[in-house]
Structure 1
Amino acid sequence: MTATAGSLTAAPDAGGPGSLDIALVSEHASPLATLGGVDAGGQNVHVAALAGALADRGHRVTVHTRRDGRELPDRVPLRDGVEVHHVPAGPPEPLPKDELLPHMDEFGRQLVRVWRSRPPDLVHSHFWMSGLAALHAVRALDLPLLHTYHALGTVKRRHQQLADTSPPQRVALETEVGLGCDRVIATCRDEVAELARMGVRSDKVSVVPCGVDTELFTPQGPAAPRGPYPYRLLQLGRLVPRKGAAVSIAALALLPDTELVVAGGPPAHRLDDDPEVRRLREIARRAGVADRVRFTGGVPSRQVPALLRGSDVVLCPADYEPFGIVPLEAMACGVPVVASAVGGQLDTVADPGTGRLVPPRDPRALARAVADLLGRPATRTACGAAGRRRVLRRYTWARVAAETEAAYCAVLEAATAVTEVV
């Protein structure tokens, strides 16, 4: 291992173990990507924010992501202390993430080439294919590896069944990553149980949640203009069936005097060509609520807080949700959340303190919970204030980085102890 106890000296003003060279591997989710596409969402935000928060603690961070454009430079500074490295693996063009597996061997070989001359102190891979590439490299160079899945193939297959487009060997390869890395950093408690069923011992897992930018997402600031209806609901995120927008539309039919804004997906000028938008519009037409559903298309991140603040309740009715950043963003803005009781939302949404948890795929349960909040303004205000307090106490990126750093240190110290014994 390259890191020793001597490298963990105190860094100025960081409050942590000192300055480490950290490699984050995120094969499809670049921190430079434009959000809102099918494969660009929470993981991109997570990797970018974690890298920045680790840099704030005095570390040097390089994010290794696949080159998906011919014009991209080899390396791009993201901010002080953080650099993005575009790894040549496969054609230099955008590819769906489910088509990237054949290029992971090359990704791993490129990491070996780069790290052989300048090895990082540790590697932290994100998503299972990044884990495969990183595992190949760390085994060749004897480097410590931590891994965050962000989503598990076992869960996706259980919920999507034949609609799951993941490579058929995904679960077996995810298990290989979990057994081969030094530590798994899970994002919620539900994931720990899932990993145990895969054979990954719970004592090898640290639970560190995702975070939220509490300076961008605040209750103070402009709110998006309201429509003609007394109440507004918001569903925000990628427009894929598992996110449950169809459930929100069905629930809207039971909620008079209420509009639903669906934010996400392609740019506004391409909405008419999007298959999922067309499917959802047809569902709204059949439910008799087409005039009360508005699709905005993809929204720049800086405009999201105003959308949240302009809503009475934020809906997160996904079939399953490995973590779910939208509930945190809503809570940080002081807006109550009604979410499906799945995955990471079981951890983040405190029912009844910050919102409500309902069964997935149940429009009536969703409508009842929303109607209860809409009918009680004082409760909505209290839930919003409690949500903000909960985020500040548990989900700031500074806290997430500190807990991630603690997992790093545990792995480095264990490796040092083994080396000293040998």
Structure 2
Amino acid sequence: MKIALVSESANPLHAGNGGALRVHVAELAAALASAGHEVVVHTSGEAGREATRARGYEVVELSAVARRAADPSAHLGDFARALARRWQDDAPDVVHAHHWTSGLAALLGARRTGTPVVQSFHSLADPGSDPQRASTERLVGKEAAAVIASSGAELAELARLGVPRQRISVVPSGVDRARFDPEGPAAPRWAPQRLVAVNDLAPERGVDDLLWALRSLPEAELVVLGGDARGIDRARARAAELGVASRVRLPGRVRREEVPALLRSADAVVHVPWAADFGLVALEAMACGVPVVATAVGGLADTVVDGVTGVLVPPRDRKALTGVLRSLLVDDARRDAYGIAGADRVRVRYSWERVAHEVAQVCARVAGVELEMGPEIVAEAT
């Protein structure tokens, strides 16, 4: 199939752009291309720049209009028109849009050719805090030929928005198992126990809850990967207030190549956002054979099997989080068991080959194309 991926806000060529969404689009595009599909990623960037090939797929930058932080949809008309021009003479079989802004632009851009659009939201807005985005997501979900949810929780949210259940398929994110595996090197550590978090340091990501819990874990150090200068300063000040600053390391954003070794250095990876979450951090930790402590929100409730690959705690429940971490850090056997189970779960369910095949099946269905399951995928799925 000719598959057009639309990712206007997360350019797969820019390592500092888009976070987990950028990783998802880049890995999915590579896996689809590896399976024999013709894949082009359409993203915002410098208009007129030549298409770039990366890992078997093509990246086309369509718009030079700056995105406005106050209104990320402000330039979508230009982006949609650029998509329409691109597809007028070379229409794909199917469009797969990532994030709500991409979905709106893709639906507008595909009108003239009648190309079906598959939508992945990755996260949904809270109608109370962002009614405009929530309204647009409802429209995009209803107009798309199919919608891919990343978890059962997202499926339920989409159904509540009015998206017909028969048009929704659940396909999780995947993990680069060649990079994230239990056997690689671990980064050095400076305390008997180590907790690692990957966190942009926004308050709703739960970093304050984790710092609060650290007060009751005197043998543990905490390494938080991510965040900008403002977030780091805020977290450092909060750690000082709580008396744990000497045991908190805030290196900021690190190169993606460094992340696996840092995850492997942890006794547990802690990911405790307050609301629905992409869940990639938990998957990558599990792939490295590290137990996960996470909040039971969004896709995390599907990804982390409570009592098998880690422990789920209620969001914003600091006492529960502290108790779980305290007991887990002194139980080597339980951590080992969780780590082994997590790596097995990722191997069976979350390889990019399998994820790409399931996405391709959804795309093929709306495009009227029949695909066959390859033998490696069959073996992995059983």
- Quickly name the TM-score band, shorter chain normalised: over 0.9
Unaligned runs of 5+ in 2: 371-382
Say if 2:145 is the partner of 1:170. no
1:236 matched to 2:198: yes
Structure 1 residues 229-272: Cα deviation after superposition (integer angstroms, max 9, x where no partner): 21000011323222211111111011111110111124xxxxxx
TM-score (norm 2): 0.93
- The equivalent residue for 1:219 is 182
For 1:382 and 1:40, how far apart are their aligned partners in 2? 33
**Selected match of 1:340 from 292, 295, 298:** 295
Describe the SS at the equivalent of 1:123: strand
Q: Distance in 2 between matches of 1:354 and 1:56?
A: 30
For residues 113-132 of structure 1, the aligned pairs below 5 Å read: 113-132=85-104
Please name the residue that 1:79 is paired with.
Answer: 55
Q: Which runs of 4+ in 1 moved over 3 A?
A: 95-99
Whether the aligned pair in 2 keeps the contact of 1:89 and 1:106 (CA below 8 Å) is no
Q: Distance in 2 between matches of 1:141 and 1:276?
A: 45
State the one-letter code of the partner of 1:197. R
CA distance in 2, matches of 1:264, 1:40: 13
The 8 Å contact of residues 237 and 326 in structure 1, kept in 2 or not, is answered as no
Aligned 1:362-377 pairs, distance under 5 A: 362-377=317-332
CA drift of 1:413 comes to 2.4
Distance 2:369 2:3 in 1: 17
CA deviation vs aligned residue, 1:162-202 (integer Å, no higher than 9, x gap) = xxxx5x52111111111111000110110111111111121
Report the AA paired with residue 308 of structure 1: L
- CA shift for structure 1 position 350: 0.5
Unmatched runs of 5 consecutive residues or more in structure 1:
1-19, 267-273, 416-422
Matched ranges for 1:10-21 at <5 A? 20-21=1-2
Cα gap change, 1:79/1:294 in structure 2, threshold over 3 Å: closer, same or farther?
same
Alpha-carbon distance in 2 for matches of 1:279, 1:25: 35
Q: Is the 8 A contact 1:28 1:97 kept in 2?
A: no
Q: 1:103 aligns with which of 70, 75, 80?
A: 75
Q: Distance in 2 between matches of 1:58 and 1:104?
A: 31
Residue in structure 2 matched with residue 88 of structure 1 by the alignment: 63
C-alpha distance in structure 2 between counterparts of 1:149 and 1:319, whole Å? 19
Q: Contact conserved, 2:120 with 2:149, CA < 8 A, in 1?
A: yes
For 1:304 and 1:201, the matched residues in 2 are separated by: 39
Preserved contact between residue 89 and residue 107 of structure 1 (Cα < 8 Å)? no
Select 2:13's aligned residue among 32, 41, 49.
32
Alignment of 1:18-417 (within 5 A): 20-35=1-16, 40-67=18-45, 69=46, 73-80=49-56, 82-91=57-66, 95=67, 99-154=71-126, 157=127, 161=129, 168-227=131-190, 229-266=191-228, 274-413=229-368
The 3 A distance-change label for structure 1 pair 407 and 97 is farther
Q: Once the two structures are superposed, what CA deviation does each residue of 1:56-93 show, in whole Å capped at 9, x if it has no partner?
A: 110011000001x58x823111122x0100012514xx
Q: CA RMSD in A?
A: 1.7
Sequence identity, in percent? 46
Contact 1:54 1:401 (8 Å CA) reproduced:
yes
